[in-house]
């Protein structure tokens, strides 16, 4: 099994088939991010109180990478302060762009480093992060 298959296997088992915080509650700020060329469409909803992300949920449609990353983002950012969450998003973006990044801050999200071998799919992973960043910019 090659590296990519291993990663897909992990994603599939953990997050594609068993999504995390999937489904919106319409109680927080919602931002949508779409890739019209492939049909990926993610809405992230966050409830932020006293600068802490109390709840973060997703409604993701599209490919496995898109759906998995939306769940992983929610798991990574839930309960974090906004500044911590911003930092994670920034580090994720750096990793995606091939810049220096702090792997320890990303935890499981560092799995998407494998997309360096498949750059056409980076957008699939970053859609939910784009939506989250928009939420942070709006507050």
By CB under 8 A, what part of segment 33-92 binds other proteins?
A: 37-40, 61-65
Determine the distance from the C-alpha atom of residue 15 to the mean position of all C-alpha atoms in its chain, rounded to a whole number.
Answer: 11
CA neighbor of 44 nearest in space, from 35, 52, 33, 34: 33
4 forms part of the interface with other proteins (CB under 8 A): yes
The distance of closest approach from Cβ of residue 67 to other proteins in the complex, given in angstroms and rounded to an integer, is: 8
The distance of closest approach from Cβ of residue 13 to other proteins in the complex, given in angstroms and rounded to an integer, is: 7
Contact between 120 and 37 under an 8 Å Cβ cutoff? The reply is: no
* C-alpha distance from residue 25 to each of 22, 58, 109, 118 (Å): 10, 9, 25, 34
By CB under 8 A, what part of segment 116-135 binds other proteins?
A: 118, 120-121, 124
The distance of closest approach from Cβ of residue 1 to other proteins in the complex, given in angstroms and rounded to an integer, is: 8
Residue 63 backbone dihedrals phi, psi, to 5 degrees: -85, 175
Residue found by looking up tokens 């291993």 in the block: 6
Residues that bind other proteins (CB under 8 A): 2, 4-5, 8-9, 12-13, 17, 37-40, 61-65, 118, 120-121, 124
């Amino acid at each position: 099994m090659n590296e990519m298959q291993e990663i897909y296997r992990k994603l599939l088992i953990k997050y594609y088939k068993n999504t995390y915080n999937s489904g919106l509650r319409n109680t927080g700020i919602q931002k949508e991010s779409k890739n019209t060329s492939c049909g990926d469409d993610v809405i992230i909803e966050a409830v932020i109180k006293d600068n802490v992300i109390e709840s973060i949920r997703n409604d993701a449609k599209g490919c496995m990478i898109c759906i998995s990353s939306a769940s992983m983002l929610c798991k990574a950012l839930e309960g974090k302060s906004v500044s911590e969450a911003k930092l994670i998003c920034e580090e994720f973006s750096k990793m995606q762009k091939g810049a220096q990044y702090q792997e320890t801050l990303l935890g499981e999200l560092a799995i998407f480093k494998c997309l360096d071998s498949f750059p056409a799919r980076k957008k699939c992973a970053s859609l939910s992060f784009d939506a989250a960043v928009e939420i942070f910019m709006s507050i």
